[in-house]
Amino acid sequence: MPGPLEGIRVFDLTRILAGPTATQVLADLGADVIKVERPETGDDVRGWGPPFLKDEDGNELLRDSVYFNAANRNKRSVSLNLATAEGQLLARKMIAQCDILFENYKTGALAKYGLSYENLKGELPGLIYCSLTGFGHTGPYAPRSGIDLVIQATGGIMSITGPETQEPCKVGVGIADLMCGMYCNVGILAALRHRDKTGEGQHLDMSLLDTQIAWLVNEGMNYLHTGESPRAWGSAHVSIVPYQAFPSSDGRFILAVATDRQFAAFAEFAGQPELAMDPRFRVNEQRVRHRDACVAAVSALTLQRTCRHWLEGLPTVGVPVAPVNSIGDAFADPQVQARDMVVKIPHSATGKPEPYIANPLKMSRTPPEYRRPAPTVGEHTDEVLSELLDMDAAAVNKLRANGVV
């Protein structure tokens, strides 16, 4: 069945992680995403390894990192030298055949190629042009490069991540990149809806820092209402107790009591129902105010039995618990496997199916599809130029000889 974005074409000028993960979602939903890369070397993240994909003989493919493959399936790669006048002209011709231009160049960088929104909006009034930068196109930091670690630090998330006594700690994946990409897609889909009604395209000025500030959510709001900057809590929660890792007789597990009913159910299961009647612990507000005493009381109980006892027993009385899984444990989890969160796609460079993390969208009528693996550099140059610009092999070969593609 065709994807919900079939018929939408994206001219993808993004690199590294934030933009590519966003355009991969659009591609999974059926959009034709044309990834434009530098001839020969391509996206910088192609070389971010090891690990790299390996061919059937076990040889590493040094321009096909696993990192690159994580964010670029279902796309077609066109190699194009935008530093040449002919490359810029080809780009403009291809953009005219696209619905969306998605780029993550530094603020103002595409203007020198004649490919900024201001350069294009007059001749392409229906174009949706998404710019993803570190700090946005306005403000004192606009000229700066912005990468995930810089944004996590600037946007405050590192100050509330990890143990309280530890040095500044980032989230384990590029979460500022990923979240900005998701916000970009929300904006793009809204812009498509607006264009459907009016015919008008528009410019999306998306910033890693803006989105990082937006997803501070309750911790950011706590500061705005109290004037006090939150601190790191490790696995604990600023507003809910008990809600953290607890010790058992053979390891640690997560106990996430979110309601007073759940706390009473925990106390009953643990064989000490009177704990839930203690005035200090009866309601969450008091448990937060008496955090240390509550955590100590719960820990004294959890230490008496094994992780298995709590992990198997507490869900039966409606209390959320979890093991602290490694990533390997997570992929081996029966729930993750039941939800088909790993797919295999035959890869043109390796000659065998390669594993990919699946798209989490579960849609009854138009589910994501896995049509292609991440492409090799310029793998679809001839195909795309023929399809969009009606160029024959001789014309493409001439461009290749001139260093344009």
The residues assigned a catalytic role are 177
Other beta carbons within 10 Å of 275: 21
Q: Cα dist. 228→147, 223, 390 in Å?
A: 27, 5, 61
Burial 109-124 (b: 16+ CB within 10 A, else e): ebeebebbbeebeeeb
**Terminal CA-to-CA distance of the chain, rounded, Å?**
34
DSSP codes joined into one string, 62-85:
EEEEHHHHTT-TTEEEEE--TTSH
Helix axes 18-28, 175-198, angle to 10 degrees: 50
User: Taking the mean position of all CA atoms in its chain, how far away is CA 320?
Assistant: 26
Distances (CA, A) of 195 to 93, 148, 192, 292: 21, 31, 5, 55
User: Six-digit token pair at 114?
Assistant: 């004649």
Q: Please tell me the number of Cα atoms within 13 Å of 208 on its side-chain side.
A: 31
Q: What would the two tokens of residue 278 be? A: 């203690």
Q: Which two tokens stand for residue 374?
A: 């991440």
10 Cβ contact list (under 8 Å, min separation 6):
23, 26, 27, 31, 32, 33, 34, 98, 99, 100, 101, 102
- Given a contact cutoff of 8 angstroms between Cβ atoms, the answer to whether 342 and 348 are in contact is no
Closest listed residue to residue 368, CA positions, set 343, 391, 401: 343
Distance of alpha carbon 91 from alpha carbon 112, whole angstroms: 13
Q: Label residues 387-405 b or e (16+ Cβ within 10 Å = b).
A: ebeebeeeebeebeeeebb
